Amino acid sequence: PLATTGDLVARAVAARRAVAAFNVITLEHIEAVVSGAETAGAPVVLQVSENAVKFRHGRLLPLARAAVAAAEHAAVPVALHLDHVQGDALLRQAASAGFSSVMYDASRLPYAENLAATRAAAHWAHAQGLFIEAELGEVGGKDGRAPLDAHAPGARTDPAEARAFVADSGVDALAVAVGSVHAMTTRTAALDHDLLKELSGALDVPLVLHGSSGLADGELTEAVAGGIAKVNIGTALNAAMTGAIRRFLAAHPEAVDSRAYLTVGRRAMARTVADLMGVVGGPPA
């Protein structure tokens, strides 16, 4: 059934676990995430990023409608989240398209501007009944930009600043920069677990981990134990899909029917979803 992100995150926090949130680009991604979550037996978040909307010719509705339909027919609770939104026009479409939450990303801006833009977005989101996540500090590697050095000054989230940011903006959850980087294809990132614990102690909103494809199982488990309540995963699905299709086409150069390779791509993603949810856990179904 269709659930809300706010409810799934709250249930994860109550159970001292995290909910897994996967970025979807195609119908195959949507079907794979739902199927993997059903295998894992845990609720899941389907998220559509602003970049994915750009890929879909700027249209949110075709993918959103497919995601809503898949969620309604799922055997586990599935919520829809609009991810890394920078533009107000897209933000305004969230509620009517079936999304229960948005991540408003003004983390590229200096502190005061990030706060002002996020506060306005939170005000608008709450009037629509949406759960809103924002980002402070910057998790690098977005949108093909040179990955920010995760150790550079300003690249990490400062606990005192984060406390003020959450209080002044009114957001419901915060994405923190603690050493992960977006779009990694190896699981070699090392998190600053001490900083994560400090942030978790300083803040009374759930914390969100971005760029989670770059983390090995042990790092993910420790992050959840350290206070992460939502784990965002994107690249791992693309790596699984592309790798499986590449192997299939190499072995079957005569293949023509797109269903043949989409089937193996979808299956590989579903397996990745089930495996990662086995590590992350998830709120009770």
Q: Identify which of residues 179 and 214 has a Cβ nearer to ligand G3H in the complex.
A: 214
Q: Is 210 in the site for Zn ion (CB under 5 A)?
A: yes
Encoding tokens for residue 101? 């939450």
- Dist. CA 185–CA 213, nearest whole Å: 7
CB 198 within 8 Å of CB 162: no
Smallest separation, CB 236 to ligand G3H (Å): 6
The CA distances from residue 208 to 12, 21, 96, 152, 229, in Å, are 12, 10, 24, 20, 6
Using CB under 6 A, which of 183, 216, 239, 260 touches ligand G3H? 183
Q: Is 230 in the site for ligand G3H (CB under 6 A)?
A: no
Number of amino acids touching Zn ion (CB under 5 A) = 1
User: What's the one-letter identity of residue 60?
Assistant: L
Encoding tokens for residue 82? 């609009």
103: nearest Cα among 77, 69, 139 = 139
Number of amino acids touching ligand G3H (CB under 6 A) = 16
Q: Identify which of residues 73 and 145 has a Cβ nearer to ligand G3H in the complex.
A: 145
Using CB under 6 A, which of 39, 200, 221, 235 touches ligand G3H? 235
- Cβ-based neighbour number of residue 188 at 10 Å: 10
Task: Supply φ then ψ for residue 175, to 5 degrees.
Answer: -80, 125
Which 70-89 positions form the footprint of ligand G3H (CB under 6 A)?
Answer: 83-84
83 flagged as catalytic? yes
Q: Is 216 in the site for ligand G3H (CB under 6 A)?
A: no
Active-site residues, by number, are 83
Q: Which residues bind Zn ion (CB under 5 A)?
A: 210
Q: Which residues bind ligand G3H (CB under 6 A)?
A: 23, 83-84, 182-184, 210-214, 232-236
